[in-house]
Chains A and B, each alone.
Chain A
Amino acid sequence: MTAEQSIFLFIGFVILFSGYMMVTRSNLVHAALFLVVALFGVAVIFVLLDAGFLAVVQGMGTSVQKNPVFLIREDMREGPEARVGRGLEEELPEGSQ
């Protein structure tokens, strides 16, 4: 196995893992950070394919996409608090407010 192949394997597993983690996290910021890792991994794949321009544009997209998440206040709450303001208040457990 060459160096390139082993890098590809490793990055492939990283992308799969972080993609899975991204769609299963309940914390939106964690999901965004895993999305960043996954997209960065795709950028590395582009580098391996000698597609410099695509890799760089992918890298830019990676870092731009997570920014809106930090501008949405409601979505950064965790636990029972996160249901407030989404029409889910009545499902709050007793005494959590």
Chain B
Amino acid sequence: MSFWQDPIGVIGEWIHGLLASFLPEAWATFLYTVVSVVVVASFGLIIVIFLIWLERKVAARFQDRLGPNRAGPYGLLQTFADIVKLITKEDVIPEKADWLPFNIAPILSVVAVLLIWAVVPFAPGWIGTDLNVGVLYIAAVGSFGILSILMAGWSSNNKYALLGAFRAVAQLISYEVPMLITLMVPVLLARSMGLMEMVQDQDVWFIVLAPVSGLIFMVSSIAEIGRTPFDLLEAESEIVAGYHTEYTGMKFGLFFAAEFLHAFTVGVLFAILFLGGWRGPGAEEFRVLGVVYLMLKGLLGYFIVMWVRSTLPRIRIDHMLAFNWKFLTPVSLALLILTAVVEKIFEGNAWRIPALLIGNAVVLILSYLVLRSQSRRVARERVTFRKRPEAKPA
């Protein structure tokens, strides 16, 4: 395979050969693995710098502003200025904070997101580890983010931070349920839990076969990263800044970076599971093209996240939980059963795609009808007194 078709493979082999020339084979492989991990992790962290700039620009456009435009061309250097500012800030640790969890939590929040990138298939053959339980791995690693939020909230010794952490328990663990159930739908369609096989199986993108599942995955992922309209764990009008109230400087910066990277990671996961991953014209031949396709599709998912964020207001906590348990979870369960049955009946049949589409449409229409009947019932109930009690001097 020539350099232009597989540049990273060629460079990797060269580095491995270089290490093996003066080290025993096992240690050379070990060091080579460490180098690869550092490269993938740095890729994730460097892309955050660009993502923050992009988010500020796009959010500004949604709000009819210009966004950062002073530092560098199109304000590209603004994020670097912010990083320098964050690093030079004083690092304040509350006197009664629990020192070790307090300092580990921001690191863990970044690591939890970076771990997902270990199983992301960038291009044919370019994958950290081709785990055959990749989907399960994503679910397992994702919950370490919750652990970091809990550690931050609890160790800060601040009531608002603890409240934010409690909300995180309620929200993130609830929304993991529909997310995991919808993750099973691509698994059923691809008959594999490995992400690489899943991408290779998408001759027809899974968003075509399971559009409603894709939508539910997107919604529950937005809740999972804790962004508007689901940003109750850091609702500033109620609980200051939530779990990162007590954090200053670069520690806050790490939480911030983790949130942005998680949003983009969700976009990339959406691209892998539903939009065909690296697939595209010429991606099998030139692997760099596969990375470009994956990043473009991931940015599309990220754009949807930004779009929702700058359009919708924050929802109330009981509405949020009711939406999850009474709507998303039943619908995703129905979709899972439907996909399993239809896949078995129309196995290897030309009617497979239309049947799946019709099934999805039926579920969508049914859930819409149920929702409409519910909303009418709620509208008729009076929640306040018809005549408001007047305040009169006695």
A in complex with B: yes
Q: Look across to chain A and name the residue whose beta carbon is closest to the beta carbon of B31.
A: A3
Flag if B141 contacts A53 (CB, 8 Å). Answer: no
In the complex, B308 has a CB within 8 A of chain A: no
A33 in contact with B151 given A56-B136, A60-B140, A64-B143 (CB within 8 Å): yes
- Could you tell me the distance in whole angstroms from the C-beta of A72 to the nearest C-beta in chain B? 12
Flag if A70 contacts B165 (CB, 8 Å). Answer: yes
What chain B residues lie within 8 Å of A71 (beta carbons)? Answer: 169
What chain B residues lie within 8 Å of A52 (beta carbons)? Answer: 131-133
Flag if B26 contacts A2 (CB, 8 Å). Answer: yes
- Could you tell me the distance in whole angstroms from the C-beta of A31 to the nearest C-beta in chain B? 12
Give 1 or 0 for each of B147-184: 1 = CB within 8 Å of chain A CB.
Answer: 10011001000000000011001000100000000000
Complex Cα distance, B153 from A76, in Å, reads 13
In the complex, B233 has a CB within 8 A of chain A: no
Flag if A59 contacts B166 (CB, 8 Å). Answer: no
A56 in contact with B169 given A3-B26, A33-B151 (CB within 8 Å): no
Flag if B173 contacts A67 (CB, 8 Å). Answer: yes
Partner of A76, one of B136, B141, B144, B154: B154
* Count of chain A residues near B, Cβ 8 A: 21
Give 1 or 0 for each of A27-38: 1 = CB within 8 Å of chain B CB.
Answer: 001100100100
Complex Cα distance, B144 from A70, in Å, reads 15
Q: Look across to chain B and name the residue whose beta carbon is closest to the beta carbon of A2.
A: B26
What chain B residues lie within 8 Å of A53 (beta carbons)? Answer: 132-133, 136
Flag if B169 contacts A70 (CB, 8 Å). Answer: yes
A59 in contact with B147 given A52-B132, A52-B133, A67-B169 (CB within 8 Å): no
What chain B residues lie within 8 Å of A2 (beta carbons)? Answer: 26-27
What chain A residues lie within 8 Å of B340 (beta carbons)? Answer: none
Q: For the side of the interface on B, what is the size category?
A: 20 to 34
- Could you tell me the distance in whole angstroms from the C-beta of B127 to the nearest C-beta in chain A? 14
In the complex, B235 has a CB within 8 A of chain A: no
Complex Cα distance, B146 from A16, in Å, reads 25
Complex Cα distance, B378 from A53, in Å, reads 46
Complex Cα distance, B166 from A66, in Å, reads 13
In the complex, B30 has a CB within 8 A of chain A: yes
Flag if A56 contacts B140 (CB, 8 Å). Answer: yes
- Could you tell me the distance in whole angstroms from the C-beta of A56 to the nearest C-beta in chain B? 5
Flag if B27 contacts A36 (CB, 8 Å). Answer: no
What chain A residues lie within 8 Å of B151 (beta carbons)? Answer: 33
What chain B residues lie within 8 Å of A76 (beta carbons)? Answer: 154
What chain A residues lie within 8 Å of B140 (beta carbons)? Answer: 56-57, 59-60, 62-63
What chain B residues lie within 8 Å of A94 (beta carbons)? Answer: none
What chain B residues lie within 8 Å of A36 (beta carbons)? Answer: 147
- Could you tell me the distance in whole angstroms from the C-beta of A7 to the nearest C-beta in chain B? 9
What chain A residues lie within 8 Å of B141 (beta carbons)? Answer: 59
What chain B residues lie within 8 Å of A29 (beta carbons)? Answer: 154
In the complex, A90 has a CB within 8 A of chain B: no
Q: Look across to chain A and name the residue whose beta carbon is closest to the beta carbon of B101.
A: A33
What chain A residues lie within 8 Å of B166 (beta carbons)? Answer: 70
Complex Cα distance, B112 from A62, in Å, reads 13
Partner of A60, one of B30, B98, B139, B173: B139
In the complex, B126 has a CB within 8 A of chain A: no
Flag if B133 contacts A60 (CB, 8 Å). Answer: no
A63 in contact with B30 given A56-B136, A56-B137, A70-B169 (CB within 8 Å): no
Partner of A70, one of B29, B143, B150: B150
Partner of B136, one of A4, A33, A60, A66: A60
What chain B residues lie within 8 Å of A66 (beta carbons)? Answer: 147, 150
- Could you tell me the distance in whole angstroms from the C-beta of B86 to the nearest C-beta in chain A? 27
Complex Cα distance, B132 from A72, in Å, reads 37
What chain B residues lie within 8 Å of A62 (beta carbons)? Answer: 140
- Could you tell me the distance in whole angstroms from the C-beta of B189 to the nearest C-beta in chain A? 21
Best-surrounded residue of B137, B139, B140 (most CB of chain A within 10 A): B140
- 7 more A-B contacts (CB under 8 A) besides A53-B132, A59-B141, A67-B169? A2-B27, A3-B30, A56-B140, A60-B143, A63-B147, A67-B150, A70-B165
Task: Please provide the 5 A-B residue pairs with the shortest distance between their CB atoms, ordered closest to farther.
Answer: A63-B143, A3-B30, A59-B140, A60-B140, A2-B26
Q: List 15 A-B contacts (CB under 8 A).
A: A2-B27, A33-B101, A36-B147, A52-B131, A56-B136, A57-B136, A59-B140, A60-B136, A60-B143, A63-B147, A66-B147, A66-B150, A67-B169, A70-B154, A70-B166
